[in-house]
Structure 1
Amino acid sequence: MDVFNNRPGFCPTCGSILPPLQVKGNVFCHNCKQEFQPDVYSGEKSEYTIHFNTYDPSKLTKKGKREDEEEEADGPIVERKCPKCGNDKMSYATLQLRSADEGQTVFFTCLKCKFKESENS
């Protein structure tokens, strides 16, 4: 018995969000415990693939980092000159520390020497 108007990705019985469509098999609603054919998605197909990183302990250095791994950044990287060492790449993170009508605080970290500075924008 279909109580709800069926929209792709929603259970036609209880209206709950259905789990992503798998390659094989039927779809199970976690809420009402009913099983549906894949056509409950009305032709909708999953458009993503998950790829996992591989772990090879033989490629680790003595410090526990991979040989091919670059310096790890604390966030997105921006071209900004470090005042301490002169390196031209820094990572940054933002936080709203002051009141909502004022700008955010940007924290920069040098990728080379790990020098940290902040800027109120």
Structure 2
Amino acid sequence: MSTSGPFSSTTAFCVKCGSILPLLQDFGSVKCYACAAIYDADSFSNIKFSYTIPFNTVSTLNNDNILNLDNPDGPVVERKCPKCGSDRMSYATLQLRSADEGQTVFYTCVSCKFKETENS
């Protein structure tokens, strides 16, 4: 980087103030929004970025794991099943609605595999 300062940086951070720098434009230089330090495009020629996006594995349901009563689908809570009357149900939660609304809880009966949902 062409400007010296209290910070040392090999990525897209300003060495004067430590702020993240904007993306390099077609103008040939980058100007820090916070302290107005200017860096020429050659300062960024050796920087390489690599991104890794991890994904969860998808489990598939089949008759073997649907009917397996010894292996619940998730954590088990004391909740009465409206279908068979069992007092053990497993649950999973997802945020299906807006971020400012509660999550949706999916319950599965450990005995009969009856499923119900609750918006919390």
TM range (shorter): 0.3 to 0.5
